[in-house]
Chains A and B, each alone.
Chain A
């Protein structure tokens, strides 16, 4: 059974703080990892799709790394802004399957 875990469950930071969250997953049969940003009342929006061990991706102030051998991914936000407030979901895909298995998400609140 593929179980994806995220920590922390929630996080409250001040504007300008940098922060990071963790997604952990079983390393066997790994195929891909997706990060999504989900604001209330909006669609989950893809941030990154990562497949290779050691992958690092960046989009503006947000970046992510992937370690498939030990089964974790980090998402970093540099200089958090109030508009970064959202739930950040990671989802894992195993070889041969078409379903994303989601973690519980990390709810980020950035105060001005």
Chain B
């Protein structure tokens, strides 16, 4: 069964360092998303991406964040200068249809710890 895969599963980084979280969405999906969950809080939306551009982003997704689909299969989230409050589980998701009329498929997540 097709699945969304994320790497690494766990990343520890020092405050101020850049991190890149990687995702391979399901191959025939066209809509891609990043969400995150800070420990003890709700899962929250970061960004949606379609046709090689951001289609929607949240207030959290400031200039420190960027997304890219560099090679037609990977979908990456970059945090330029990490802060302690960026520590969270980051989930990538993809879907076949726009506006999530059908289910989103989520990866297992990358746990980012900023020290």
A51 to B101, CA, bound (A): 8
With a cutoff of 8 Å between Cβ atoms, the chain B residues found around residue A104 in the complex are: 42
- Given A97-B56, A98-B31, A102-B43: A34 touches B4 (CB 8 Å cut-off): no
Number of interface residues of A (CB under 8 A): 24
With a cutoff of 8 Å between Cβ atoms, the chain B residues found around residue A89 in the complex are: 43
A100 contacts which of B4, B100, B101, B109 (Cβ < 8 Å)? B100
Please state if B103 and A99 are interface contacts (CB–CB under 8 Å).
no
With a cutoff of 8 Å between Cβ atoms, the chain B residues found around residue A45 in the complex are: 106
Please state if A98 and B44 are interface contacts (CB–CB under 8 Å).
no
Interface size class of B (residues with CB under 8 A): 20 to 34
With a cutoff of 8 Å between Cβ atoms, the chain B residues found around residue A103 in the complex are: 42
Residues of chain B whose beta carbon lies under 8 Å from any beta carbon of chain A: 3-4, 31, 33, 35, 42-45, 48, 55-56, 58, 91, 98-109
Residues of chain A whose beta carbon lies under 8 Å from any beta carbon of chain B: 31-32, 34, 36, 41-46, 49, 51, 89, 91, 93, 97-105
The 4 closest A-B pairs by CB, nearest first: A46-B103, A99-B45, A102-B43, A98-B48
17 contacts between A and B (CB under 8 A): A31-B99, A32-B100, A34-B100, A43-B3, A44-B106, A46-B105, A49-B102, A49-B103, A89-B43, A98-B33, A99-B33, A99-B45, A99-B56, A99-B58, A100-B45, A100-B104, A102-B44
Please give 5 more A-B residue pairs, beta carbons under 8 A apart, in addition to A32-B99, A49-B103: A34-B100, A99-B33, A100-B35, A101-B45, A104-B42
